[in-house]
Amino acid sequence: MSSQRATAFVPGHVTAFFSAHRDDDPTVAGSRGAGVTLTDGVTVRVSAADDGDTVADAAAAGETTIDGEVGSIGAVDDVLAELDATAADVAVETDLPIGAGFGVSGAAALGAALAANDAFDRGRSENELVRVAHAAEVDRGTGLGDVVAQARGGVPVRLEPGAPGVGELDGVPASARVEYVTFGELSTEEVLGGDTDALSAAGEDALDRLRADPRLPTLMDAARGFAGEADLLVPEVAEAIDAVDAAGGEAAMAMLGRTVFALGTGLSDAGYDPEACRIDAAGARLVDD
């Protein structure tokens, strides 16, 4: 039975480090690495487009809004097409900054998949929906590993790249407050479109360190090493990481964004005025409307 409307919540995801893995098949492509999912995330509401009385209305495709403004997200469009739901209205809402390393595009794609499947009773399994969203995100070049991480929740470790059935995940068991400050956008497409060999080598080193010692402080330390080795640090972020370190805390850069995130009260203690949330234990999920 189709309810014709459904809502999903998908946590934000800050990547601590990663290596890029290309493949012509977008379900096989992806990234290894690790990150932290956040209770600050993206809510996606999918509903049947208003039935119009006129021919023009009836033929119109559904509308996507982002925080109330009409817009479009490529990966969301692809997900809706795959689920035969292009006539749906999609409302994406988030308090997270967009383009700043929180995986908002991946979250929107995964949330659209979960909500459209439920609203229109498409009968796909969780793995199938994650696969559809992951493939859309990879095809659009907006991310490589956020979707599978956001589906799992917690502190996901991407052992092998790719969608469910191809990739492999583990997690660092942890519950913690997370603070973050954003200084602006950084283009994922631009970094991922360039030469990623040095970046990927640094990412593999960082993953080896974390697998040998799956603890949160090791993740943060490996993330700082990665940002330096991969030459991705921007001045404001480097300054904030140093300030948190000087105040006795743990911070790192969100990949890929001009964003710094810290455990506990790290950024507050260093004199910043951060947003605060927690590690999200649940991962992507349907929620009540």
- Enumerate binding residues for its own copies (CB under 8 A): 114, 117-118, 121, 123-129, 153-154, 157, 164-165, 168, 170-175, 211, 213-215, 281-283, 285-288
Q: What sign does the CA torsion over 28, 30, 33, 35 have?
A: negative
CB count within 10 Å of CB 31 equals 27
Buried/exposed 119-151: b ≥16 CB within 10 Å, e otherwise: bbebebeeebbbbbbbbbbbebebbbbbbbbbb
Complex with its own copies: residue 77 or 280, whichever CB lies closer: 280
Please state the closest distance from residue 18 (CB atom) to its own copies, in A.
18
Please state the closest distance from residue 262 (CB atom) to its own copies, in A.
17
Please state the closest distance from residue 223 (CB atom) to its own copies, in A.
17
Phi, psi values for residue 252, rounded to 5°? -155, 170
30: Cα separation from own chain's centroid: 13
The residue whose two tokens read 């360190």 is: 209
The residue whose two tokens read 């595009």 is: 105
Complex with its own copies: residue 50 or 84, whichever CB lies closer: 84
Please state the closest distance from residue 288 (CB atom) to its own copies, in A.
7
Complex with its own copies: residue 11 or 274, whichever CB lies closer: 11
Complex with its own copies: residue 34 or 243, whichever CB lies closer: 34
Complex with its own copies: residue 132 or 144, whichever CB lies closer: 132
Complex with its own copies: residue 11 or 30, whichever CB lies closer: 11
Please state the closest distance from residue 139 (CB atom) to its own copies, in A.
22
Please state the closest distance from residue 26 (CB atom) to its own copies, in A.
20
